[in-house]
Amino acid sequence: MAPVKVTKICCIGAGYVGGPTCAVIALKCPHITVTIVDLNQARVDAWNSPDFKLPIYEPGLEEVVREARGRNLFFSTDVDKGILEADLIFVSVNTPTKKSGVGAGFAADLNYVELATRRIAQVATSSKIVVEKSTVPCRTAESMRTILEANSKPNCHFDILSNPEFLAEGTAITDLFAPDRVLIGSLQTPEGISACASLTEVYANWVPKDRILNVGLWSSELSKLAANAMLAQRISSINALSAICEATGANIDEVAHAIGYDTRIGPKFLKASVGFGGSCFQKDILNLVYLSESLHLPEVAAYWRQVVEMNEHQKRRFSKRVVDTMFNTITGKRIAVLGFAFKADTGDTRESAAITLIRDFQSEKAYVNVYDPQVVEEQIWTDLAEASPLVPEEQIKKQVRICKSAMEACKDAEAVVIATEWKEFNEINWEEVYQSMNKPAFVFDGRLLVDAEKLRNIGFKVVTIGRP
């Protein structure tokens, strides 16, 4: 079968994946009309804002949207119109971990995927290529295909593809411009292979053909979970070693540097920290745990569960070290937490280590000043309320203050905790910070960011992850 020439793309979901991905497709493929649709009016309004105050902070994203928006890139709440006109539809909706029911705490909640799939079947009057872009469990495409075929109109045929994203927040635009690989999975039927060729031709406008991998549908779905699980495993492994370094006198930076020279291991993802966060790692590992248990592989499930447990342990260990160092009590003391996003160059706070740290500090009856250059105040309050559901909001706001700058957060504090590796935290006037703090003044570096010796010379007591 000859592949369909794609001239119109619709993306359902204007979040962290769909927005940047399809904005770059529009930029690189000016001959293709790309419409990103979402039912959230406020989010769509932000994408369309005249001053480009986009709902997502991602370096380089504003420049992409500025060039393509209004030319061949459009944002809309008219989901039905987008579906009707498109040749190819990306399903890029949220797939959070289930909070109740079967698989609660582990399995992905596919409610939004199913709703989007049903909407496509209900609205479409012509054949479409439907692409899974959301992170989904293995064989989700099978259920999508069942829904589409059961609800489609006469003469409507749907081909399902899996095209998982491998973006790192903070470098998403760079990753999209020059990806390590683009993975496209399809059923190995003439129709599936033809649909795969159609999407391959879209990416081939800027991605070398040897970096576009065509695989089976189920292999593509599992590869996404596997990649994130393997990356998270490396972080948990280096964090486990950081505890040994602190106890033995070794330096985690030196250990990571040494083992990173082994070409079989390599240097990437060997940076010790207070713990990994973000929308993918924990969710995907738990999904893998649930899949393993469903397949009656309890030892495999336990293996992957330990990666997440190690991550939670690292957060608890760090907050305990703060308490232990500050004479076994932080009650009534003020702690400045610098950074609330799960990592630098993003406003995303999902599974952020800062949330856990602040919750632990609150439970020790400390006062906390928080500053992050990109996370909005409303998001911080929402995250802290969700982390401590039994604590009244008024009590949280008595203990936590959101500040407009790092200097404001550090003023009159007993300790500074670096929870996110924002570059600006390395450029702080630490002499001025020291003068504004109560003494002894502590700095707890959870991101291996600052020059510990320089800060000690100023007068700080410095504690660093993975160092004695």
Residues 197 and 325 placed together within one structural domain of the fold? no
Residues 33 and 159 placed together within one structural domain of the fold? yes
Segment 396-419 shows an average pLDDT of 98
Question: Per-residue pLDDT for 135 more than 80?
Answer: no
**pLDDT number for residue 405:** 97
CATH number of the CATH domain containing 64:
3.40.50.720
- 140-144, 329-333, 454-458: the lowest-pLDDT one: 140-144
Question: Per-residue pLDDT for 100 more than 90?
Answer: no
Q: What are the tokens at 254? A: 């030196």
245 domain residue, yes or no: no
267 domain residue, yes or no: no
Last residue of a domain, one of 156, 172, 207: 207
Segment 370-386 shows an average pLDDT of 97
Last residue of a domain, one of 182, 207, 232: 207
**pLDDT number for residue 136:** 74
Question: Per-residue pLDDT for 110 more than 90?
Answer: no
224 is in an annotated binding site: yes
State residue 244 phi and psi, 5-degree precision. Answer: -65, -40
Last residue of a domain, one of 207, 229, 259: 207
Q: How confident is the model at residue 71 (pLDDT cuts 50, 70, 90)?
A: very high
107 is in an annotated binding site: no
- Cβ atoms of 365 and 331 within 8 Å: the answer is yes
Question: Per-residue pLDDT for 452 more than 90?
Answer: yes
Residues 46 and 183 placed together within one structural domain of the fold? yes
Tell me which residue of 124, 111, 187 sits closest to 152, measured CA to CA: 124
Q: How confident is the model at residue 94 (pLDDT cuts 50, 70, 90)?
A: confident
User: Partners of 75 in the beta sheet?
Assistant: 36
**pLDDT number for residue 252:** 97
175 domain residue, yes or no: yes
Question: Per-residue pLDDT for 107 more than 90?
Answer: no
pLDDT in tens, 340-369: 999 999 999 999 999 999 999 999 999 999
Segment 101-120 shows an average pLDDT of 87
Segment 180-193 shows an average pLDDT of 95
Residues 31 and 157 placed together within one structural domain of the fold? yes
Residues 190 and 317 placed together within one structural domain of the fold? no
Cis peptide bond prior to 440, omega within 30° of 0? yes
93 is in an annotated binding site: yes
Kindly report the average pLDDT of the chain as a whole number.
Answer: 95
Structural domain boundaries, residue 405? 309-464
Q: How confident is the model at residue 403 (pLDDT cuts 50, 70, 90)?
A: very high
* Catalytic option among 11, 29, 280, 410: 280
374 domain residue, yes or no: yes
Residues 16 and 165 placed together within one structural domain of the fold? yes
Segment 169-176 shows an average pLDDT of 95
227 is in an annotated binding site: yes
Question: Per-residue pLDDT for 98 more than 90?
Answer: no
**pLDDT number for residue 350:** 93
Residues 203 and 326 placed together within one structural domain of the fold? no
Q: Percent of the chain having pLDDT more than 90?
A: 89
Q: What domain count does the chain have? A: 2
Measured between alpha carbons, how far apart are the two ends of the chain, in Å?
A: 64
Question: What SS3 class is residue 370?
Answer: strand
Amino acid letter for position 77: T
Residues 194 and 334 placed together within one structural domain of the fold? no
User: Partners of 369 in the beta sheet?
Assistant: 336, 401
353 is in an annotated binding site: no
**pLDDT number for residue 103:** 83
Alpha helix segments (H runs only) across 34-154: 41-47, 61-68, 79-85, 111-123, 140-151
Segment 320-337 shows an average pLDDT of 97
332 is in an annotated binding site: no
200 is in an annotated binding site: no
Residues 318 and 173 placed together within one structural domain of the fold? no
280 given a catalytic annotation: yes
Q: How confident is the model at residue 155 (pLDDT cuts 50, 70, 90)?
A: confident
DSSP letter string over 401-434?
EE-SSHHHHHTT-SEEEE-S--GGGGSS-HHHHH
Report which secondary-structure segment, H or E, holds 183: strand 182-186
**pLDDT number for residue 2:** 82
Angstrom CA distances, 173 to 59, 74, 176, stand at 7, 18, 5
Amino acid letter for position 5: K
Alpha-carbon span 175 to 178, nearest angstrom:
5
pTM: 0.89
57 domain residue, yes or no: yes
- Cβ atoms of 340 and 370 within 8 Å: the answer is yes
Tell me which residue of 287, 289, 283, 281 sits closest to 306, measured CA to CA: 289
66 domain residue, yes or no: yes
Q: How confident is the model at residue 271 (pLDDT cuts 50, 70, 90)?
A: very high
104 domain residue, yes or no: yes
Strand arrangement, sheet containing 33-37: 73-76, 33-37, 8-12, 88-91, 128-132, 158-162, 182-186, 212-216
151 domain residue, yes or no: yes
